[in-house]
Each structure stands twice: as C-alpha cells, then as structure tokens.
Amino acid sequence: MKNRSLNNQTVLITGASSGIGFATAIYFDNIGIKVYAGVRKESDGERLKEHEINNITPVILDVCDYPSIQRAFDLIKKKEEGTIFNLINNAGLSLNGPLELMDQNDIQKLIDVNVTGLLTVTRTFLPLIREKMGRLVNISSGHGLVAVPDKSVYAASKFAVQAVSESLRVELMPFGVFVSNIVVGKINTNVLGKIMAERQKMTEQTNYEVYELYRTQIEYFDREVKNLPSIEASEAAEMISRALTDEKPKMQYLVGPGAKKMKILALFPPKMRGKMLYKAIFK
C-alpha cells in the first residue's frame, strides 16, 4: 500500500501524557512528523521531554476546558500556518461497573471527556484540518462495537465516538478529509490499574445489599479483564500511524485481540448475542 508523504505534516494528539497518546507522540516524532502533545499539566510535558525527542511540543490542553482548547488552537494556528494539520482524538476515560452502582459525577466526567471534549476539540480545529486536507483520527474501543454488561456508560461514550466518525466521514468528504476510527482492545498501560482501583472504590462506597445483586457479573468481568491478552501501546501507535500515512486510509483499524474479538461478537444478532453473554456470566 502506498504511503502518504510525511513532508510538511503536523499532528495534535490529545491525552498525550501517558498510554497510547504518549507512545504515539514518540512514534510520530521518530518517523519525522511534527507533534503537538496535548497534556493537562506542565509536569506531563516535562516527562515527554525526558525522552530523546526531536520535534514534540507539549501544549497545555484540557478537552473539558474550552479556553484551554482555544489557546491551543491559537498557538498551533500561528505556528503552523501552511502545514498539513492532523488531529488525533485520543484523550479518554474508562469507567466500569453496573449502572446502579455508578457515581453520578463519574458518569458526567466520562461523557464530558469521551464525547463532549472530542466534539469540541474537533469543531475547534476543523478549519486547520480542512484547509490543507489533513486527517482526523478518533480512538475508539471494542466496546464501541458491542455493548456488554458492566460497561453501559463507557460503551455509550464509545458508540458515540463511532457515530461521530461515521457522520464526519461523509460530512468532510467534499474537502478531501479522511476520518478513521482506531478500535482498541486491551493495552498494557497503567489504565488497567486505574480500572481496578476505581472498581475497589465503587465496591467500598456501594450499599452491600445492592452490591450483592451484581456480584456475579462484577466478578465475571474482573476475570475477563485480567485474562484478556494485551498488547503494548507502541503497537497501537503503529496502527494509528497507518491511519495518518496510508494513501487511502481505512474507515476502521482494529488493534489487538480484544478488538478483533468484539468485532466478531458484533456479527451475531443482538438477541442471540444477549443470550450468549447471559449464559457466559450466569452459567
């Protein structure tokens, strides 16, 4: 497959302080793409600079704070006039657990980051993307393909990402802008530790009798998360680079065995899939 020229390419990556965003910033720097790494704290930017980087500029960017987004836009627009600008919407949160056990503030925060933040950043930077036929890459999840128990809020946010990508794919087609979705499975990052810590917090704060109603499925999905094969964030970064560099990028790229498993599960009729999940959890 032919590759797009890397000359005159600039990319903004949201959520670049750790995990996939961090790995992707380093990867792009190594292949010669100028990177603006969106971080929420100065210390996160300093951590990036500890690596042998050539062309990464940390930029303070909180996807839930519009003034922060606008400042980042003004900075990049001023410095990158005339370059081909690309956006990778990577910033995201994960939230697991039965809906009845969820904290309302956690639900709101996840939707603010995963959906509203993505839309706001994209809307703000679209003039730069459109001007030189840049590209838009959204990081989704296997849970954006299939909604399973214990993931209702997270799945809702990632289904929204899929919908945004599908809509914008046609909306931006007249301008020569490609939109790709990266469907990610389990990545070997500190996210898993955060998920388990949040799970423990949820357990401790929940009424014991209510928790007992959901214990079986909670324990099932805890085992599933631990046993699912994972890949390194650098592998995800390599796949993301394809969405940016392939001459004719795919609408969807699958990353890791977890994403592929969910893609197969999505092929089953919903009623059948529901019965399969029920039997697996409550056998």
Q: Which residues are catalytic?
A: 154
Residue 146 CB neighbour total at 10 angstroms: 20
What are the residues whose beta carbons fall under 8 Å from the beta carbon of 179, sequence distance 6 or more? Answer: 135, 136, 137, 138, 165, 168, 169, 172, 251
What are the residues whose beta carbons fall under 8 Å from the beta carbon of 58, sequence distance 6 or more? Answer: 16, 36, 37, 39, 42, 44, 45, 46, 48, 49
End-to-end, the C-alpha distance of the chain in Å comes to 46
Per-residue DSSP letter, 144: G
Taken in order 199, 205, 206, 212, is the CA torsion positive or negative? positive
Find the Cα–Cα–Cα–Cα dihedral 138, 164, 12, 253, rounded to 10°. 20
What are the residues whose beta carbons fall under 8 Å from the beta carbon of 216, sequence distance 6 or more? Answer: 281, 282
Name beta bridge partners: 37: 13, 58
- Pull the structure tokens for residue 275: 């019965």
CA 152 to the chain's CA centroid: 17
What are the residues whose beta carbons fall under 8 Å from the beta carbon of 133, sequence distance 6 or more? Answer: 84, 175, 176, 177
